[in-house]
Chain A
Amino acid sequence: MGSIANAFSSSIGKKLIMGITGLFLISFLIVHCFLNSFVFFDNTGVLFNEGAHFMSTNWIIRAMEVVLMLGLLMHIIQGARLTFQNQAARPEKYAYNNGNANSKWYSRSMGLLGTLLLIFLIVHLSQFWRVSRFTGIPTTDAAGNEDLYAVMKETFSNIWFVILYVLSMISLAYHLLHGFASAFQTMGWNHKKYTPMIKVIGVWFSILIPLIFAAMPVWIYLGL
């Protein structure tokens, strides 16, 4: 047991936590993106509200919500700790460093991109999650479900929120562009047959998922 606790406090163990929680959060993005895509198919919001109702009443989903929040917290806290520790490993910076010659800017900016995403999450959770879980939604739709869709329409009638959401999804795209394949490498899953495949899937995932998410506020703002 001592060996296991000690493993997680090593440089490799800390990264393992980032990788595991990162992949878990990626799996969450898939579910979230799939359910929210209902907004594209029904502009009365009945379909979307039905999905939201299922998610908020199913006990497996509610239990996973707790796991998700814990995973998110671990990813954030561990990410911040690693960023500071890694900065401390080079107390005196280079006077001139040509980082672009050997690596991509977003792979070196995961801490910054993550911070932007954290700010977005605080706004996003207070706009939707807090409302649907705690303060409650007074209105109901034609099918009698809580009208979360109306909250969405209200929020995205403000162009500034639409812009914030789109910009945040660009941050997410770059965060994933490095994070997706990086998580596999950290877990030790580097393989001549699978790694090229993981890299291609990673690029497509990093473009498609944030693109679908970013389309939602735009779609609603335009009243489509």
Chain B
Amino acid sequence: MSTGNMNLTLKVWRQKNNKAKGKLVDYKVSGISPDMSFLEMFDVLNEGLITKGDEPVVFDHDCREGICGMCSMFINGRPHGPKNAVTTCQLHMRSFKDGDTIVVEPWRAKAFPVIKDLTVNRSAFDRVIAAGGFISVNTGNAQDANSLPIPKARADAAFEAAACIGCGACVAACKNASAMLFVSAKISQLALLPQGQPERYKRVQNMVAQMDAEGFGSCTNTGACEAECPKGISLENIARMNRDYYSAKFVSEDEV
């Protein structure tokens, strides 16, 4: 952990638009405080670029407190950088050393086309959700706490799946650019609870079909997604999705 301010070399992916060919461009940043977040370091870089009259680096960000899922940089060969279970906005410069060279690239997947520089279009995830990641009931007023008994372990598993912020780090980390960790989390958070049951098997079929249509790869169980997920979503969700998918396709008599 360094205490003084740092000077760093950045190799940042610059790409004008989706059609243009991109390349890594070298930048020097100096006087970086170890207490800055990675995105604040990029703000410093961009202020320098704007002062010089150059185009700033375009990157996604919103809440900067690790809960919105907007930030998305592939830092030194890993989504969200070298720390486990953090988003890029919660990655601090104390995780790097003075004089380091840092390579920053966008998420790379056919289903996530680059919009500009480090920003990719993740609306494929929205379309997967729209295909079935919801429940079609009027939930009405909040019910009595014990009117729907749910075992604690089950509620916890649903809650853990629901922690997914949809940032796409799983797709970025996977050698196959597979979205199965994301899709399985969005299926599991509903499949584990009573409200999700009526549409359970229709949901899994529609969401998997949309996932395939978007051009994501398939899962080869390398576990890279689970290791890189900022919210620690477990591979158990993928197994649950597979089970639900087989039940829907091979057991259920309903055709979707």
Contacts and interface: CB of A to CB of B under 8 A. Distances in A.
A99 B108 CA distance: 14
Interface residues of A, number: 44
Given A3-B249, A11-B219, A12-B242, A93 B108 contact: yes
Given A102-B173, A102-B223, A190-B240, A85 B108 contact: no
Contact of A90 (B176, B221, B228, B246): B176
Nearest to B244: A188
Contacts of B241: 12
A103 B108 contact: no
A94 B235 CA distance: 24
Contacts of B239: 185, 188-190
Contact of B242 (A3, A102, A187): A187
A98 interface: yes
B contact face: mostly helix, strand, loop, or mixed: mixed
B217 A14 contact: no
Interface string B213-225: 0011111111110
B222 A103 contact: yes
A101 B249 contact: no
Interface in A136-168: none
B97 to A, nearest CB: 16
A190 B239 CA distance: 6
Contacts of B250: 4, 7
A contact face: mostly helix, strand, loop, or mixed: helix
B103 A96 contact: yes
A107 interface: yes
A43 to B, nearest CB: 42
Contacts, number: 144
Given A90-B176, A190-B235, A96 B105 contact: yes
B212 A10 contact: yes
Given A7-B249, A11-B208, A89 B217 contact: yes
Contact of A188 (B77, B246, B249): B246
B110 A186 contact: no
Nearest to B212: A11
A186 B219 CA distance: 8
B76 A98 contact: yes
Nearest to A192: B236
A94 B217 contact: no
A88 interface: yes
Interface of A: 2-4, 6-7, 10-16, 82, 85-99, 101-104, 107-108, 110, 178, 181-182, 185-190
Interface of B: 11, 13, 24, 74, 76-78, 82, 103, 105, 108-111, 173, 175-178, 180, 208-209, 211-212, 215-224, 227-228, 235-236, 238-243, 245-246, 249-250, 255-256
13 contacts: A3-B249, A7-B250, A12-B218, A12-B241, A16-B246, A85-B217, A89-B177, A91-B110, A96-B76, A99-B175, A102-B78, A103-B223, A178-B221
